[in-house]
């Protein structure tokens, strides 16, 4: 595997040690914003109705301005924000877990008619709804409430989440049905927005091409075979990010197999390719979560 290609990911999305930033020029930013608004508009994420936000990730403060913190905060722009409550609050120079604070806030918000949007890591969403379930808390949030989850399906051990179980817990504890839960996929080094279809699959949008590569030869493999997830997009003009090979293992399927009506192929992320020194934002958040348990 090309060392340089791995470094882009490690340095742009790590939560400790040296980290470089991905710089976007104005034209890339403008094109990117247009892509995001078109994608999120298509998937009914953009709304003029004011909402309260539960941000399941880092508060954008202090020195830890990670890509994930910026993305989670950015996701609170698609419907006007009345309030934001964070799962990881910045206090006294470090991040502290705020699940109890979120639970109290949710019980207060559930008494109002204001919709609630949850944005951030699925691992945190799972931890939150499981905690509500254990406490016997059953809320019925406004029917326009939504769950928008991105990044971090690949945590291991205690935080590995079964999607069906997560969706069932969300409906039980918050009253938010599966069709109002949306999953997103993106990467700092490949800032194309992937939004799951109603069958929870990531189809390849017009803005990119996705190639699954053999782990040894890097040659493309056919549908149904696992390999390294690789992205190609002309979107970023400011840095050499046209083609990126990630350390994720994934498999691609024929779009017709999904049944949602979107014909482009879709990919499934299976996990990391076993490079332990690489640490993503989601993995960093998982560590704080495990330490707080």
Contact yes or no for 27/237 (Cβ under 8 A): yes
Compute how many residues bind Zn ion; rule: CB under 5 A.
6
Nearest to 63 by CA among 98, 87, 93: 93
CB of 258 to Zn ion, least distance (A): 3
Interacting span for Zn ion (CB under 5 A) from 61-69, 200-208, 239-247, 273-281: 200-208
CB of 223 to Zn ion, least distance (A): 15
Q: Helix H segments across the chain?
A: 3-13, 26-42, 67-75, 99-109, 122-134, 163-174, 281-292
Interacting span for Zn ion (CB under 5 A) from 18-26, 137-145, 201-209, 268-276: 201-209
CB of 35 to Zn ion, least distance (A): 19
The three-class DSSP label of residue 90 is strand
CB of 198 to Zn ion, least distance (A): 7
Contact yes or no for 48/79 (Cβ under 8 A): yes
Among 61, 81, 251, 260, binds Zn ion (CB under 5 A): 260
Q: Does 199 bind Zn ion (CB under 5 A)?
A: yes
Interacting span for Zn ion (CB under 5 A) from 27-35, 102-110, 197-205, 212-220: 197-205
Nearest to 41 by CA among 190, 195, 226: 195
Q: Does 201 bind Zn ion (CB under 5 A)?
A: yes
Interacting span for Zn ion (CB under 5 A) from 57-65, 99-107, 164-172, 190-198: 190-198
Q: Does 197 bind Zn ion (CB under 5 A)?
A: yes
CB of 37 to Zn ion, least distance (A): 21
The string over 238-270, giving b where at least 16 C-beta atoms fall within 10 Å of a residue's C-beta and e elsewhere, is eeebeebbbbbbbbbeebeebeeebeebbbbee
Among 169, 229, 250, 258, binds Zn ion (CB under 5 A): 258
Task: List CB contacts of 285: < 8 A, sequence separation 6 or more.
Answer: 15, 57, 58, 68, 88, 121, 123, 124, 152
Residues forming the site for Zn ion (CB under 5 A): 197, 199, 201, 258, 260, 262
């Amino acid at each position: 595997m090309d060392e340089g290609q791995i470094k882009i990911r490690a340095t742009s999305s790590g939560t400790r040690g040296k980290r470089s930033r991905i710089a976007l020029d104005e034209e890339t930013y403008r094109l990117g914003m247009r892509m995001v608004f078109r994608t999120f508009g298509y998937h009914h994420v953009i709304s003029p109705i004011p909402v309260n936000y539960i941000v399941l990730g880092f508060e954008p403060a202090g020195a830890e301005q990670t890509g994930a913190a910026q993305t989670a905060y950015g996701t609170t722009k698609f419907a006007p924000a009345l309030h934001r409550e964070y799962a990881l609050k910045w206090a006294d120079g470090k991040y502290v877990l705020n699940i109890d604070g979120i639970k109290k806030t949710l019980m207060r918000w559930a008494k109002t008619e204001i919709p609630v949007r949850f944005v951030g890591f699925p691992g945190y969403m799972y931890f939150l709804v499981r905690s509500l379930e254990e406490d016997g808390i059953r809320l019925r949030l406004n029917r326009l409430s939504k769950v928008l989850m991105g990044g971090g399906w690949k945590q291991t051990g205690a935080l590995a989440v079964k999607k069906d179980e997560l969706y069932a817990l969300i409906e039980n504890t918050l009253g938010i049905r599966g069709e109002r839960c949306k999953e997103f996929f993106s990467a700092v080094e490949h800032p194309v927005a992937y939004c799951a279809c109603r069958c929870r699959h990531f189809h390849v949008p017009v803005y990119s091409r996705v190639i699954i590569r053999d782990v040894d030869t890097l040659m493309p493999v056919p549908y149904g075979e696992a390999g390294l997830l690789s992205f190609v997009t002309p979107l970023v003009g400011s840095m050499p990010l046209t083609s990126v090979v990630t350390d994720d293992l994934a498999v691609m399927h024929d779009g017709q197999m999904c049944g949602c009506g979107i014909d482009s192929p879709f990919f499934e992320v299976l996990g990391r390719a076993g490079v332990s020194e690489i640490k993503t934002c989601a993995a960093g958040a998982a560590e704080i979560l495990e330490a707080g348990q």
